[in-house]
Structure 1
Amino acid sequence: MNASMAMSGDALRRRRTWGGTGMGPRLEIEDDEKDAEERKSVEAFREALIARDLLPARYDDYHTMRRFLKARGFNIEKTIHMWSEMLQWRADFGTDSILQDFVFDELEEVLRYYPHNYHGVDRDGRPVYIERLGRVDPSKLMKVTTVERFLKYHVQVLEKVFTEKYPACSLAAKKHIDTMITILDVQGVNWMSVGKLAHDIVLRINKIDSDNYPEILHKMFIVNAGNGFRLLWSALKGFIDPRTSAKIQVLGDAYRTTLLEFIDMSQLPDFLGGSCTCTNEGGCLRSNMGPWNDPHVMNLARCAQTSSRKRTSLSGEELTTPNSVPEVITRLEPDFPDTAPLTGLSRSFAVQSTPACENIKIDEHEASISLTSQPEVNNRIGGASSDNSMPENSSTKFLTLMRALTRFIMKLLAILLILFGLRNVAFHQVDVRIWDHHRMDSANANPTNHLASHDAKRDAVLSCLDRLQRLEELVVELNTKPKKIPAEKEIMILESLNRIKSIEYDLQKTKDALNATSLRQVELAESLENLKETSLHRNSCWFKDCKSLQQRT
């Protein structure tokens, strides 16, 4: 099996062009080597995690490790640090058991004051998440729940996305799905009232998502955005990671055409320009419409999850992929007792669910048992009826020979089905692979500088958001104050002004008195000086008279 997979992989590398699927022209494939390098990076990352004992069995998944590597620009050391922090956060937050332990009883009231939910899928099968921010009432929302409980609810929803929505979408789309479309309707948003909610909840949710659930956003549409929001976005866009900002598209009120390019009208709610109303379920944001709401699809997903996990071959070691589409080639036949065993088309559907970049390794023992269960029953019946006509040892040898022959034929058919399935899924996923790898070219050109600049830009954005929050708090404080002065305070102010005027009048009188006193002092000083001069003059005249008398005598 591994040899056949390797041969098919070599053939894919040698073949530089792929035929289309009938939907468009032939596409030139130039990223096979890039895909091989990506797989080598995932392999090296996996070996590094195993060496550090940081790879629990439930996270031994190719796609999960690739998402974390993408988030850190395929820098293994930084990704290991991010991975270890993720494991520690899950242990501290209780994420692994949050689906069973946490019950969000206030969900109905939260949806009333914060309309949001998943609704339908896009044209490629990804789930669509919708929020109507213009109808958010932060004050009432915080009365029916708390920030901590809302964060737990958010994490629980994300865990359901990975355990229910992604597997169901992957089965329905017949390819691996691990990203989503997000639509934010900002019509009528009161940014002053939403500011505190954004500071308390949105920033913390963004940190949880970026640190522990990276690279799950395929595209985000912000619709009904006004001119002010567009100006703000154009200013903040330079501080955001270019790979993330490329996924975000800000639209005005003429958004319908753009949304319909990605989402079918039947999957889009009527308030966003679609045709879906979900009147019987209380509205589109209450219906939870999607493949995950289909009992048949969920039955397939649960049945496949309870069976042995699909394994992929990565450098001679088995790599489980619990988040990929599970193996349903043979183990789903008991769920359909009224129908014949799975046809070639059904088996091709199951095989196409496997990503083309992985080498499939089938558990031959289980496959042979499942595929030959019906022939073995028939053989046993035939053997029981022939016990009367042949010896027991001959019957046993005949049954053994038939079983061996049946196993050989079924294994051969399984190999052929897998080869054809890989061929088909490669044609289906060629567009996605080209898009994804071309997007990675610019991001991986210089991962070290890119991540350093990203961290600096993120710090700048956070500081700007903190300043905006402080300004909003000051404005809110000013708005809470009354616009007019109360009558009592106005009377007190008038009395104070009158007292101030009287004090000023007294001060002026005192000043005038001081001036008059200073003038009198100056006059007295001048009078004293005059008296002194007069007395000196008289004394000098007396001495002269005395001398003249003495001379006469």
Structure 2
Amino acid sequence: MPRWTPQEQECIATLKNRLKEQLEASPQFPEIVGERKMIRFLRGHNFDIDKVSNLMANFFKWRMDNKVDEIRTNIVERGMDHPLKFPKGELILSLIPQLILVPHAQDKLGCPICVEQYNFTPSEVFKYITIDDYILFVLYSLEFKSLIVEALSEQREEAFLNSLTKTERTELETNPNSKPYGVIVNICVVRDLNGVGFAHLSAQGQEIIKAVIAVASDNYPELMRKCFMINAPFLFNAAWYVIKGFLSPRTLAKVSLMGGNYMNELLQDIDKSQLPAMVGGDFTGFTTYEPYQFDRSYFVPDGWISVDVSTCIAEADASSAKDKTCSTNTTSIEPNNNIITNERV
């Protein structure tokens, strides 16, 4: 009973062989060293095995250099299980309203929804936080999303296997033409561009966009299934002409750019009951604090001893942390600049 297609199985075997040292040296986190992560890299880069091998090798190095596993530990094991608990999370979300991810608000294909809004002035935001503060928040958000889509993928895969009768399982195991049962959950993104102005397209604004795109595309491929960019002002057309130059044809095909009359198209993919109220839907479940309950038996491998970063968490949230040091909130997150990629998410 195949989990993946023959092409995917062959590529996974090649990656496991080529990246044997890196895979063994990395903590055995399923969303980092598991087959789904390999599939995301492969699908995101058109199964170019040489390119994916290099990208994944640099992905492991990037995580080590930037202590990203400590960030993951904060989320899964140290209570930072909701965006409001990320370093400066409450402040950033008050300045830049967004919905990082709602597991139980999903589009019609079962993809959880996230919402980004741009009704803010960058110069005002950066009176209260630094660019590094924001990039770190974005990285926490990407790790959070990566963990949740892995959890949903595993749950749905297990649910399918458990639903099979003995006869059905035998048939699938003996039929070489059986449809692969592996599940890869993606995210549906709604970007509300109302409020985008010249300030967002300034040199500082472009610096932030480039930094976020680099970190996301090099290290978190194929998170996104679809991106709806709504309320796009005329001014955004010029910016979009520049931004889409960073995007691969695969990613561009996922983007729908719309003005103010977006609702009918949006509702083709998302039921109004599932669409967050902040973009005109009826879903309001995100207004209450609901930490995500990660399954430790799945996400914390046997023998894993987590780093004690409780002091770092306290420092990350302390308003007086200006002169303190902590690897999880002072590390400068660098993209994999030595790798040229075409896939942007």
What residue in structure 1 maps to residue 275 of structure 2?
Answer: 268
Identity value in percent: 26
Find the aligned partners of 2:35 and 2:232 in 1 and give their Cα distance. 38
Does residue 1:127 correspond to 2:134, yes or no? no
Does residue 1:68 correspond to 2:41, yes or no? yes
Find the aligned partners of 2:37 and 2:264 in 1 and give their Cα distance. 33
Find the aligned partners of 1:275 and 1:201 in 2 and give their Cα distance. 32
What residue in structure 2 maps to residue 224 of structure 1?
Answer: 231
Query: Which one of the candidate residues 62, 66, 82 is aligned to 1:89?
Result: 62
Q: Report how far residue 92 of structure 1 moved.
A: 1.0
Q: Report how far residue 91 of structure 1 moved.
A: 0.7
Structure 1 residues 140 and 157, CA gap change in structure 2 (3 angstroms): same
- Number of residue-to-residue matches in the alignment: 270
- What amino acid does structure 2 have at the position aligned with 1:167? A
- What amino acid does structure 2 have at the position aligned with 1:128? I
What residue in structure 2 maps to residue 23 of structure 1?
Answer: none
Structure 1 residues 44 and 219, CA gap change in structure 2 (3 angstroms): same
- What amino acid does structure 2 have at the position aligned with 1:48? R
Structure with bigger RCO (C-alpha 8 Å, 6+ apart): 2
Structure 1 residues 69 and 153, CA gap change in structure 2 (3 angstroms): same
Find the aligned partners of 1:201 and 1:228 in 2 and give their Cα distance. 19
What residue in structure 2 maps to residue 357 of structure 1?
Answer: none
Structure 1 residues 181 and 303, CA gap change in structure 2 (3 angstroms): same
Structure 1 residues 104 and 141, CA gap change in structure 2 (3 angstroms): farther
Find the aligned partners of 1:260 and 1:90 in 2 and give their Cα distance. 38
Q: Report how far residue 232 of structure 1 moved.
A: 5.1
Quote the RMSD (CA, aligned, Å).
Answer: 3.4
Q: Is 1:125–1:169's contact at 8 Å kept on the other side of the alignment?
A: no
Q: Is 1:125–1:177's contact at 8 Å kept on the other side of the alignment?
A: no
Find the aligned partners of 2:211 and 2:115 in 1 and give their Cα distance. 19
Q: Is 1:222–1:249's contact at 8 Å kept on the other side of the alignment?
A: yes
Structure 1 residues 249 and 193, CA gap change in structure 2 (3 angstroms): closer
- What amino acid does structure 1 have at the position aligned with 2:55? M
Does residue 1:249 correspond to 2:219, yes or no? no
Find the aligned partners of 1:230 and 1:288 in 2 and give their Cα distance. 36
Which protein has the bigger helix share?
A: 1
- Tell me, which stretches of 5 or more residues in structure 2 are unaligned? 75-79, 161-182, 303-338
The 5-angstrom pairing of residues 383-398 of structure 1 reads: none
Find the aligned partners of 2:216 and 2:301 in 1 and give their Cα distance. 30
Does residue 1:111 correspond to 2:81, yes or no? no
Could you report, residue by residue, the CA deviation over 1:497-537 in whole angstroms, capped at 9, with x for unpaired residues? xxxxxxxxxxxxxxxxxxxxxxxxxxxxxxxxxxxxxxxxx
Q: Is 2:19–2:57's contact at 8 Å kept on the other side of the alignment?
A: no
Corresponding residue SS for 1:220: strand
Q: Is 2:97–2:116's contact at 8 Å kept on the other side of the alignment?
A: yes
- What amino acid does structure 1 have at the position aligned with 2:114? Y
- What amino acid does structure 1 have at the position aligned with 2:248? D
What residue in structure 1 maps to residue 217 of structure 2?
Answer: 210
Find the aligned partners of 1:239 and 1:153 in 2 and give their Cα distance. 22
Find the aligned partners of 1:138 and 1:171 in 2 and give their Cα distance. 39
What residue in structure 2 maps to residue 42 of structure 1?
Answer: 12
The 5-angstrom pairing of residues 322-337 of structure 1 reads: none
- What amino acid does structure 1 have at the position aligned with 2:207? D
Structure 1 residues 243 and 250, CA gap change in structure 2 (3 angstroms): same
Could you report, residue by residue, the CA deviation over 1:181-207 in whole angstroms, capped at 9, with x for unpaired residues? 111111122233453442232210110
What residue in structure 1 maps to residue 142 of structure 2?
Answer: 158
TM-score by length of 2: 0.67
- Which moved further from structure 2: 187-196 or 202-211? 187-196
Find the aligned partners of 2:70 and 2:259 in 1 and give their Cα distance. 41
Corresponding residue SS for 1:261: helix
- What amino acid does structure 2 have at the position aligned with 1:90? R
Structure 1 residues 69 and 252, CA gap change in structure 2 (3 angstroms): same
- What amino acid does structure 1 have at the position aligned with 2:121? D
Q: Report how far residue 73 of structure 1 moved.
A: 2.5
Structure 1 residues 75 and 288, CA gap change in structure 2 (3 angstroms): farther
What residue in structure 2 maps to residue 372 of structure 1?
Answer: none
The 5-angstrom pairing of residues 49-64 of structure 1 reads: 49-50=19-20, 52-55=21-24, 56=26, 57-58=28-29, 59-64=32-37
Q: Is 1:125–1:170's contact at 8 Å kept on the other side of the alignment?
A: no
Q: Is 2:88–2:133's contact at 8 Å kept on the other side of the alignment?
A: no
- What amino acid does structure 2 have at the position aligned with 1:114? I
- What amino acid does structure 2 have at the position aligned with 1:183? V
Structure 1 residues 62 and 169, CA gap change in structure 2 (3 angstroms): closer
Structure 1 residues 249 and 144, CA gap change in structure 2 (3 angstroms): same
- Tell me, which stretches of 5 or more residues in structure 1 are unaligned? 13-31, 279-283, 309-450, 459-553
Find the aligned partners of 1:172 and 1:36 in 2 and give their Cα distance. 21
Find the aligned partners of 1:107 and 1:195 in 2 and give their Cα distance. 24
- What amino acid does structure 2 have at the position aligned with 1:38? E
Structure 1 residues 130 and 67, CA gap change in structure 2 (3 angstroms): same
Could you report, residue by residue, the CA deviation over 1:19-38 in whole angstroms, capped at 9, with x for unpaired residues? xxxxxxxxxxxxx9xx2122
Could you report, residue by residue, the CA deviation over 1:471-490 in whole angstroms, capped at 9, with x for unpaired residues? xxxxxxxxxxxxxxxxxxxx
Q: Report how far residue 304 of structure 1 moved.
A: 4.7
Q: Is 2:59–2:218's contact at 8 Å kept on the other side of the alignment?
A: yes
Q: Report how far residue 99 of structure 1 moved.
A: 3.8
Query: Which one of the candidate residues 117, 134, 138 is aligned to 2:122?
Result: 138
TM-score by length of 1: 0.44
The 5-angstrom pairing of residues 538-553 of structure 1 reads: none
